[in-house]
Chains A and B, each alone.
Chain A
Amino acid sequence: MTKHIFTLIWNKKKKNFLLLLEIFFAFLILFGVFTFVISNLRNYITPLGFDTENVWLARMEVPQDVDSADFAQMRQLLRTELEAIPEVEQVSYTINITPFSNSAWQNGTDENGFDLNARIIQNDEYYEETGGLNIIEGRWFIKDDVHSKYKPVVISKMLRDLGWRGKPVIDSLFIFNYDDGPDNQVKIVGVVDHYKYMGEFTEEYNMIFIYEPTTSTNLDCMYIRVKDNASPTLEEQINKTIAAITKRNDFIIQTLESQRKRKSRQTWIPIGILLGIGSFLIINVALGLFGVLWYNINKRRPEIGLRRTLGATKSDIARQFIGEILMVAFFGIILAAFFTMQFPMMKLFDIENINYYYAMLISAGVIILLVLLCSFYPSRQAALINPAIALHED
């Protein structure tokens, strides 16, 4: 039967060409949509690695000409005063490379026997708790780290798996051209599970957190962890406290949660639009398929009558019509897949290959499902045609 169906659609290749073309383009477009959606969603399902609920962010300018003793004192005071507010749980200082802000500091070296490329963030000893990080090995920074011979760092699991797979990682030294410590080496004190600070839809990246004490002028942002259900006046209160102590007004306070949502929207919206376009396309293809099938079946009533007369059962007829359109769809998919295979093979974009393969499988699945759904009813109708009447019509 397969061979017969092939002969039939081959002999009618001109008529089937448009349908094949439709399937071909549908596959290409679905492939694009699904590649985008799947690669983003696959990033989305890995945890962020830090809290956004109840964490606020204050950005402050640090004047260049500041006296360091005064600055240190002011910093300590600001901490103490803010933490004295009942609804504030904890305060931590950080460099201004903050989550969802699109800024990044990146460094790389191959001096450790592997290609190390990482993003760097400087934090004080309080950030683990304020930010809600997950330490999976070792510890976060402590005050005494100031006296460490080597600069203490915490790395992400991804980096540990890259450089220290199957090896002890805590207290290891590695070369990282960051510090002027002995031989440019830094020391790993802990590992966190994830830190996708660029946003929920970004790929994970190797992270290196570097210790800076609270009093460091490098740290010009502040995380403020507040209690659940903070009152509306809290922001005002924090605002006043900061202004009073720093004697400046050029700072802004944001909640990380709103930043997360703002950033995620930048991906959710195109995902929504693309899925909308995809659905619209699918409906169009479905209508097209349905139309072609109805037309074919009506035009081929005498043929159906003949086949029934020659001994075809109803299910033979239904199977033939479904089979014909499935085979055309199959060739359309194969042809399109030949093109889409170039993406993983030529690595045109910075997208993991597996996303392309998933997108191809899902696109093919959607199209085949669509063909089956659209051909089910017309084919059943074809099977119900009365041979005596259909033969008479010719």
Chain B
Amino acid sequence: MIKLNNVNKIYKTKSVETLALNNINLNINEGEFLSIMGPSGCGKSTLLNIMGLIDEPSQGEVSISGYRIDDYTGKSVAKFRNEHLGFIFQSFHLINDLSVIDNVELPLLYRKVSSKMRRQLAEEALIKVGLKNRMKHFPSQLSGGQKQRVAIARAIVGKPNIILADEPTGNLDSAMGNEVMDILLGLNQEEKTTIVMVTHDELMAKKTNRLIRLFDGSQVQ
């Protein structure tokens, strides 16, 4: 499903060159729930961004569902992201000026979907994360766990086959973290969604199918 071949990522700034990813080879199967662990700054987010096609590898190849990415700036990669990938972030990244339902509709804005259909799909997604009664709320009126559930609804509203989650429970206490984790597990089991999750939490990682560890940009496990 997701294939990385000899992927390197180098960040160049004026003074330093950081080798954020060093020769990563990875093959993630359809329906798999993979977690990525490693110390801070080891390149986890970088790896996830590369899998999510929002960052370009310095070297190597990325292919997702047989689609090989050559051009990262064009319209087709935006369309691909929109249709195949769902994203969840540690800091939620909800738009504060939009209500919960409008936030959830966001990915559908960049597709040809009628506004009625958008509303309906967004409602269904919110029902799945148990937030139907918070539709008209604004992000500032929600708890962290609720915010992340909104973010999950937003990630699944477009029915992607892959979800990329960067420390989705990192900002949540363990009760709220477990809630979020249960939703992700449910998606993986019931909808067969492929999930890649970065986490610092061994307990969370244990619930997934496979764990890989990074250290200084290299895969160590």
Give the contacting residue for B98; candidates A1, A3, A8, A394; CB below 8 A.
Answer: A8
For chain B, residues 68 to 99, give those with C-beta under 8 angstroms from any C-beta of chain A: 73, 75, 78-79, 81-83, 87, 89, 91, 93, 95, 97-99
Residues of B within 8 A of A307 (CB): 106, 110
Interface segment, A172-180, A339-347, A385-393?
A385-393
Which range holds the interface residue count of chain A? 20 to 34
When distances are taken between beta carbons in the complex, the residues of chain A under 8 Å from B107 are: 310-311
Q: Whole-angstrom distance from the CB of A309 to the nearest CB of chain B?
A: 5
B83: which A residues are within 8 A, CB to CB?
311
B212 within 8 A of A: no
**How far, in whole Å, are A311 and B106 apart by their CA atoms in the complex?**
9
A233: Cβ under 8 A from any B Cβ: no
Beta-carbon contact of B106 and A310 below 8 Å: yes
Q: Are A313 and B89 in contact (CB under 8 A)?
A: no
Residues B18-73 near A (CB distance < 8 A): 45, 49, 52, 54-55, 73
| CB <8 Å contact, A316 and B98 | no
* A327 and B139 alpha carbons, distance in the complex (Å): 24
B97 near A311 with CB under 8 A, answer no
A308–B93 contact, CB under 8 A?
no
- A8 and B98 CA atoms in complex are apart in Å by 6
B123 contacts partner chain A, Cβ-Cβ < 8 Å: no
Q: Is A303 an interface residue (CB 8 A)?
A: yes
Which residues of the partner chain B approach A388 to less than 8 Å between Cβ atoms? 49, 54-55
State A302–B98 Cα separation when bound (angstroms): 14
3 nearest A-B residue pairs (beta carbon): A311-B82, A388-B55, A311-B110
Instruction: Please judge, given known A-B contacts A7-B102, A388-B49, A394-B93, whether A310 and B54 are in contact too, CB under 8 Å.
Output: no
Residues of B in contact with A (beta carbons under 8 Å apart): 45, 49, 52, 54-55, 73, 75, 78-79, 81-83, 87, 89, 91, 93, 95, 97-99, 102, 105-107, 109-111, 115, 138, 154, 158
Q: How far is the CB of A306 from chain B (nearest CB, A)?
A: 5
A7 in complex: contacting residue of B75, B98, B111, CB < 8 Å: B98
Interface check A12, CB cutoff 8 A: yes
Q: Decide yes or no: A310 and B89 within 8 Å by CB, A4-B109, A12-B97, A303-B95 being known contacts.
A: no
A311 vs B99: C-alpha distance when bound (angstroms): 20
For residue A10, which residue of chain B has the nearest CB?
B97
| Residues of chain B lying within 8 A (CB to CB) of residue A7 | 98, 102
Cβ–Cβ contact A311 & B98, under 8 A: no
User: Is the CB–CB distance between A316 and B54 below 8 Å?
Assistant: no
CB under 8 Å from chain B, chain A span 65-85: none
A11 interface contact, C-beta 8 A: yes
Q: How far is the CB of B33 from chain A (nearest CB, A)?
A: 21
What residue of chain A has the Cβ atom nearest to residue B49's Cβ?
A: A388
